[in-house]
Amino acid sequence: MSKKRVLAIHDISCFGKCSLTVAIPIISASGTECAVMPTAVLSTHTGGFTGYTYRDLTDDLMPITEHWKTLDIGFDSIYTGFLGSFEQIGIVSKIIDDLRLEDTIIVIDPVMADNGVLYPIFGEDFPGEMRKLCGKADVILPNITEAAMLLGEEYVTGPYTEEYIEGLLKRLGTIGAKNIILTGVHFNSGHLGAAAYDVRTGAVSYSFHETIPGYYHGTGDVFGSVIVASLMNGLDLERANGIAVDFTAESILRTRNAGTDVRFGVDFETGLGKLIDQIREGRE
Ligand code: PXL
C-alpha cells in the first residue's frame, strides 16, 4: 500500500490533549503522514477551563490553501474537527472543494455539543451550517447530541433502544454523508460504544466496551483520529469502529486509574503500540 497523507483541520489547544495534539501523534504513529491546518490556537480547550486565550486563525486558512495549490500535493483524507467560528464552516467547505482529489476520503467530526448542550462559544445557527458541511462527507462522526442538533431534533437521554438509534442513523443518512459513526450509543448502563452505518447498503454494526464512569475531555478526537488512521490503513468502517471504541475506552481507563484531572485529556500514548499492532492485524 502506498504511503498515505491526511490533512487534519482542527484547533491547537496547547494544553489538554485534544484536536491536533491528539490527531497528529495517532495518525503519524499509524504510518500515515499528518499535515495540519490549525483553525485557532487556544491555551487550553474550552471544556472545564476558564480564562483560556483564543487566537482565531480564520484569515490564515485560504492563504494556506492558495499556497498549497502552487505545490504538487494531494491528500488521501481530509479530517475536520473543532472549527473556531461559524464563518470557518463555509471556508472549510471551500477548502475541501479546492483540495480534494477524486479518491480523497472526507471525514467530518461536527464538534459542537455534548450532553444535550451546544458549546457556549457557538451560536444557535452553528448546527444548521455544520449540517451543510456534513453533506460533503464520506464519514461523519457525531455524538448523540450533535446528531440531534444536525437534525433539528430534541436531545434524548439514554439508555436508548435499537429502534431509536437506527431511526436516528436513517434520518442522518438524508444529510448527504455516505457513512455515519454515531458515538455515545448505550442500550444499558454497563456498556457504551458506537454504531457504524453505511447509508448506501443500510448496514448497521455496533461496537461496545464496558462503561467507565466520568466525563473525560478530548475523547471524541482520540476516537476520530483512530478512525482516520484505520481507514488510511485500508480497514473497513466496522473494523475501524471496533478498534476506535477499544482504544478510546482503554485510554480513559488508564486515565481514571491514574486519578488524572479529567480536563487534562486521556492517556492515549501508552496504547499506541497496541493500536499499531491491531491496525496491522486488521489489514492482514
Ligand atoms: O475535543 C473537542 C474540542 C476541541 N477543541 C476545543 C474544544 C473542544 C471541546 O470542548 O474546546 C478548543
DSSP string across 42-81: EEE-SSS--S--EEE-HHHHHHHHHHHHTTT---SEEEE-
Q: Cell triple for residue 84?
A: 473556531
Instruction: Say how many Å lie between the CA of residue 201 and the centre of ligand 1.
Output: 33
Instruction: Say how many Å lie between the CA of residue 284 and the centre of ligand 1.
Output: 35
CATH architecture of 5-283: 3-Layer(aba) Sandwich (3.40)
Residue tagged 454494526 (cell numbers): 205
**In the prediction, which pLDDT does 84 show?**
85
The rounded distance, in Å, linking the Cα atoms of 272 and 253 is 15
- Please report the atom of ligand 1 found closest to the CA of residue 44: 12
**In the prediction, which pLDDT does 2 show?**
83
For residues 150 and 142, is the Cβ–Cβ distance under 8 A? yes
Instruction: Say how many Å lie between the CA of residue 13 and the centre of ligand 1.
Output: 8
User: Which residue's CA lies nearest to atom 6 of ligand 1?
Assistant: 45
Global pTM? Answer: 0.98
The rounded distance, in Å, linking the Cα atoms of 94 and 77 is 15
Q: Which residues of the chain have pLDDT under 50?
A: none
For residues 78 and 136, is the Cβ–Cβ distance under 8 A? no
Instruction: Say how many Å lie between the CA of residue 128 and the centre of ligand 1.
Output: 19
Q: pLDDT tens for residues 216-262? A: 999 999 999 999 999 999 999 999 999 999 999 999 999 999 999 99
**In the prediction, which pLDDT does 161 show?**
98
**In the prediction, which pLDDT does 235 show?**
97
The rounded distance, in Å, linking the Cα atoms of 69 and 62 is 10
Collapsing DSSP to helix, strand or coil, 53 comes out as coil
Q: Which residues line ligand 1 (CB under 6 A)?
A: 11, 13, 18-19, 42, 45-47, 82, 111, 119, 218, 220-221
